[in-house]
Copies of this chain bind each other. A is one copy, B any other.
Amino acid sequence: MTVIKWNVRAGAYYDSVVLMQLQRGLLGLPGVVDAGVVMATQANRDLLAANNLLPDSIAANPDDLLIVVKANADSSATDAIGKVDELLTRRKSSNSLNSQEDFRPRSLSAAVKQLPEANWVLISVPGRYAAGVAREALELGKHVFLYSDNVSLEDEIALKKAAREKGLLVMGPDCGTAIINGIGLGFANRVRRGAIGVVGASGTGTQAVTSHIHKLGGGISHAIGTGGRDLKSDVGAITAHQALDVLARDPETKIIVLVSKPPSPDIATQLISAAMETDKPVVIYFIGHPPPARKIGNLQFAISLSEAAEISVGELEDSRIEHSRLETRDSKSLREVSSLYLRGLFSGGTLAYETMIGLQAFLSPLYSNSPISDSQILSDPLHSRAHTIIDLGDEFFMVGRLHPMIDNDLRIRRMRQEAADPEVGMLLIDVVLGEGSHPDPAGELVPVIKEIREKRIGELEIVAIVIGTDDDPQNLQSQIEQLKEAGAIIFRSVTEAVEYISLRCSRYTPNTYPPVNLEQLKQPLAAINVGLESFYESLTSQGAQAVHVEWRPPAGGNEKLATLLAKMKN
């Protein structure tokens, strides 16, 4: 028979290390079978309940500290609860043995005075206080490594926008990992320095990639974390864009790896366009995002963390770098129709789909009647918007009508309609040969291609994907020749066409914000740590200069009082 006793402490602040140590202390007391020391959120109460540590009668608010002890006798439980204060004090006194304790600053501004060369502030205080500390760090002109989670999206956006205006980085919130100039911040593996730079909207993603690069003999210049939400629409990959830009300017970084948790498609597209503009090979792995191709220009797409590492190290070893740079330069000369829209008019549904998969990485906004995601749905299939891919063989068009592989009437009308739109710079069509199809599709399409190209004021490029074999009844070579003669650019697979179009049509909006200072990034890392003391210890053990702030929440964690004080201050 076991007995449960508990103690609720209203609105007091304790850091997570203290709570863990208190729990372990309680577990070490005689007769104690189990113990829980948690902030009384619903999730934590549920966890206690799952461990049979939550009697029904406990009333506590989410801000309250809840201490529960399960013992094999009533007296043991009572004794244990009675020792809580002593255990908390013991923790404090063991702390004060630390010789540095007396010299520790109690505020960020005091810490800056102690270590003025610190360019970085590591923040791991509880989420509800983290944004305030980060704001203060930015005001002091410091980059922020924001480990804390449970920071609101609004705060994240505001912090990142404020940082961007000053050329500062906010890595996080919920940023687990970074390696700056050889020093790991937060959770980071010890890896050799080298030529591969990493931008990671993903903590363990960055850890897995950098560890694997190290194992394969490669090394890391810098690994810049962004927090897992950076590539969501609301945030707009502010930090990832800054990080990509500074690594692109860093001469010691020869190859860049971009890793992210599932991104918002439009944001992924913008970041990929920016990556395409760099002069460096960029290896991209966006988890859960189907890769558009293996390689397009200077970009390579991986399908796993370990493959991202393997590609980047292989790229270095093969010394293909010069080669890739050349390709990049070539591809830039293709950018002429970039301010105009693409309209794709397909007879093959799967070809339309595969084209969407490929182009969604590069073109935005992109619409279709065979969309990959809901945001791409073209509400009126008869009228295109921005970049559009139409599957003309969709059931919608097919009642009482022959398939567009047999009858081109519908497509020809639509080609004229699209060509009449001055915002359209490229028409993409598929020409599918073989049994059952029209005996001479080029014969029908060529006059229209010629007609719309003649009528057209300004550039209009026609790209055709021709699917067929040399044995097909239509005569593959003659079909291709006719289309080429009319001025169409011919590809034999969706993949090839996607590569061409993405190099030619993707739009990059140049960054007009102050750049992150590269020279500062390359200085020996010095940092101020606010929150988990273990991160301070990790910094110093790696040889970095660091100061730990003896942080306490405003008004001792009493939020009503803190709000009042903040109001009085303003």
Instruction: Report which A residues bind B (CB closer than 8 A).
Output: 14, 16-17, 19-20, 23, 38-39, 41, 43-44, 46-47, 50-51, 62, 65, 126-127, 149-150, 174, 176, 184-192, 202-205, 207-208, 211-212, 214-215, 228, 259, 261-262, 287-291, 293-294, 301, 303-307, 347-351, 353-354, 357-358, 372, 381-383, 393, 395-403, 405-407, 409-410, 413, 417, 430, 432-437, 467-469, 471-473, 492-496, 532, 534-535, 538, 541-542
B212 touches A471 (CB 8 A): no
- Given A357-B287, A407-B20, A434-B188, the answer on whether A204 and B395 have CB atoms closer than 8 Å is no
B353 touches A189 (CB 8 A): no
Could you say which of A62, A126, A347, A437 has the most chain B C-beta atoms within 10 Å of its C-beta?
A437
30 A-B contacts, Cβ less than 8 Å apart? Answer: A39-B400, A41-B400, A44-B401, A46-B382, A47-B410, A174-B395, A176-B348, A176-B403, A187-B403, A187-B436, A189-B433, A189-B467, A189-B469, A202-B353, A204-B347, A204-B349, A204-B351, A204-B430, A207-B467, A208-B350, A287-B350, A288-B290, A293-B304, A301-B303, A304-B354, A304-B494, A305-B354, A406-B532, A435-B542, A436-B538
* Cβ–Cβ < 8 Å partners of A47 in chain B: 382, 397, 410
In Å, the complex CA distance between A47 and B383 comes to 10
A301: nearest chain-B partner, CB-CB:
B303
In Å, the complex CA distance between A259 and B347 comes to 18
A207: nearest chain-B partner, CB-CB:
B467
Q: Quote the shortest CB–CB distance from A281 to chain B (angstroms).
A: 19
In Å, the complex CA distance between A47 and B187 comes to 59
* Cβ–Cβ < 8 Å partners of A432 in chain B: 187, 204, 207
- Given A39-B400, A401-B38, the answer on whether A348 and B44 have CB atoms closer than 8 Å is no
B469 touches A16 (CB 8 A): no
- Given A150-B398, A187-B435, the answer on whether A349 and B228 have CB atoms closer than 8 Å is yes
* Cβ–Cβ < 8 Å partners of A16 in chain B: 400-402, 407
In Å, the complex CA distance between A33 and B44 comes to 75
Could you say which of A349, A430, A436 has the most chain B C-beta atoms within 10 Å of its C-beta?
A436
Copies of this chain, whole number: 2
* Cβ–Cβ < 8 Å partners of A191 in chain B: 469, 471
B353 touches A261 (CB 8 A): yes
A400 touches B434 (CB 8 A): no
* Cβ–Cβ < 8 Å partners of A437 in chain B: 187
Q: Quote the shortest CB–CB distance from A480 to chain B (angstroms).
A: 13
B493 touches A44 (CB 8 A): no
Q: Quote the shortest CB–CB distance from A245 to chain B (angstroms).
A: 23
B306 touches A494 (CB 8 A): yes
* Cβ–Cβ < 8 Å partners of A192 in chain B: 471
A391: nearest chain-B partner, CB-CB:
B204
Q: Quote the shortest CB–CB distance from A556 to chain B (angstroms).
A: 16
- Among candidates B23, B495, B534, residue contacting A406 with C-beta atoms closer than 8 Å: B534
A211 touches B468 (CB 8 A): yes
B44 touches A435 (CB 8 A): no
- Given A287-B357, A288-B290, A473-B190, the answer on whether A261 and B350 have CB atoms closer than 8 Å is yes
Q: Quote the shortest CB–CB distance from A530 to chain B (angstroms).
A: 15
Contacts A205-B351, A215-B492 given; 8 further ones with Cβ under 8 A? A43-B399, A51-B413, A187-B435, A189-B468, A208-B350, A228-B350, A294-B303, A406-B534
* Cβ–Cβ < 8 Å partners of A493 in chain B: 208, 212, 304-306
Q: Quote the shortest CB–CB distance from A410 to chain B (angstroms).
A: 7
A204 touches B350 (CB 8 A): yes
In Å, the complex CA distance between A337 and B372 comes to 36
Q: Quote the shortest CB–CB distance from A546 to chain B (angstroms).
A: 12
B261 touches A349 (CB 8 A): yes
* Cβ–Cβ < 8 Å partners of A305 in chain B: 350, 354, 493-495
B203 touches A350 (CB 8 A): yes
Could you say which of A191, A291, A303 has the most chain B C-beta atoms within 10 Å of its C-beta?
A303
* Cβ–Cβ < 8 Å partners of A20 in chain B: 401-402, 407, 409
Could you say which of A259, A288, A304, A402 has the most chain B C-beta atoms within 10 Å of its C-beta?
A304
Q: Quote the shortest CB–CB distance from A421 to chain B (angstroms).
A: 13
* Cβ–Cβ < 8 Å partners of A44 in chain B: 399-401
- For the complex of A and B, 4 pairs with smallest distance between CB atoms: A204-B348, A39-B400, A205-B350, A189-B434
* Cβ–Cβ < 8 Å partners of A401 in chain B: 16, 19-20, 38-39, 44
A50 touches B382 (CB 8 A): yes
A290 touches B306 (CB 8 A): no
Could you say which of A208, A307, A407, A432 has the most chain B C-beta atoms within 10 Å of its C-beta?
A208
A353: nearest chain-B partner, CB-CB:
B287
* Cβ–Cβ < 8 Å partners of A433 in chain B: 189
Q: Quote the shortest CB–CB distance from A485 to chain B (angstroms).
A: 22
- Among candidates B17, B400, B472, B532, residue contacting A19 with C-beta atoms closer than 8 Å: B400
* Cβ–Cβ < 8 Å partners of A496 in chain B: 306
A381: nearest chain-B partner, CB-CB:
B43
In Å, the complex CA distance between A471 and B38 comes to 35
Q: Quote the shortest CB–CB distance from A365 to chain B (angstroms).
A: 18
Q: Quote the shortest CB–CB distance from A324 to chain B (angstroms).
A: 20
- Among candidates B38, B348, B472, residue contacting A190 with C-beta atoms closer than 8 Å: B472
